[in-house]
Amino acid sequence: MQNYFAYISIKKDKIFVPGDRIQLENGYVGIVGQITPRVTYVRDALNESIAIIPTRQLIAATIINFSKDIKFIPVKVEVGVSYLDDPEEVAAVLIKVGLRAMTELKDKRGNHLIVHEMCPYREEQKPSCGCDANILADIEQPIVRVINFNNSSIDFVVRVFVKEYDDQFKVKSDIRIMIIKEFKKHNITIPWPIQTEYHGDLDKELKDIEDTSDIRKQTFKKYGVGDLNSSNESKTNDATKL
């Protein structure tokens, strides 16, 4: 009877419906399948398993519903850079990577993996691939943030959004590859852990940075840093005048 009344409550209040992606209290993330008066089936989001749960337990537990009114998943890629690198120039390179990822990363059918407010295909007078469908909130992306001063690095994060849960893993991998290539192009260093013995030539490193300053400044001028320092922009201008 407890299972039956729980089943009625779930159906009536639409706490979740088949197809919703939810997280259970034990951390299990899956897609809701069939809901019955006795048990509810939740399929692992990566198709690795199926959880069969007494329906009454889903009423008593705390459930996180990732699909209710929200149709996209945040993808966060973290990276650390040397303290010798200019953080604003690094942020500009990461903005460039994020913008490249938004247009270049596609599935086998040519659909964009990252969501858009307007599909890039529309600018080419082509039909939308669906990456801009059912977007119910304003999306600001890519977002770049400085998140930590580590022992050997300044840590940044790049954030974009995807629609499908399993797409995040390919997007993360591809963005990391893009970051490595762009950092090499701009001579931005991902430092070794501080615990390792490092025999470096500081003068040479500074000279290498200076030799690539033009391309770094060009990237910074073209891509900016998003809204990373927009809140301080007016204060900076006022301070400059003083």
The pLDDT assigned to 70 comes to: 62
CB of 104 closer than 8 Å to CB of 112: no
Length of the chain: 242
Q: What is the mean pLDDT of the chain?
A: 86
Burial of 71 (0-12, 13-18, 19+ CB in 10 A): middle
Q: Are 115 and 137 in contact (CB under 8 A)?
A: no
Tens digit of pLDDT for each residue in 44-84?
A: 877 788 999 998 888 888 888 877 666 688 899 999 999 99
How many CB atoms neighbour CB 46 within 10 A?
A: 12
Domain boundaries, the chain: 2-65, 73-227
Tens of pLDDT along 163-220? 888 899 999 999 999 999 999 999 999 987 655 466 678 888 888 888 899 998 999 9
Q: Please, where are the H alpha helices in 62-111?
A: 87-104
The beta-carbon contacts of 184-189 under 8 Å, at least 24 apart in sequence, are 185/215, 186/89, 186/93, 186/212, 186/215, 186/216, 186/219, 187/211, 187/212, 187/216, 188/81, 188/82, 188/85, 188/89, 188/90, 188/93, 188/216, 189/81, 189/82, 189/84, 189/85
The yes-or-no verdict on residue 147 having pLDDT over 80 is yes
pLDDT band at 106 (very low <50, low <70, confident <90, very high): very high
Phi, psi of 50 (to 5 degrees): -130, 125
Where does the pLDDT of residue 235 fall: very low under 50, low under 70, confident under 90, or very high at 90 and above?
Answer: very low
Domain at 2-65, CATH from 3.20.20.370, 3.20.20.450, 2.30.30.60, 2.40.50.140: 2.30.30.60
51 φψ region: left (φ > 0), alpha (ψ -120 to 50), beta (else): beta
Q: Which CATH architecture describes the domain 73-227?
A: 2-Layer Sandwich (3.30)
Q: How far apart are CA 178 and CA 15, in angstroms?
A: 40
Beta strand pairing call for 39-44 and 50-54: antiparallel
Token digits for 169? 């893993």
**Tokens 């992606």 belong to residue:** 21
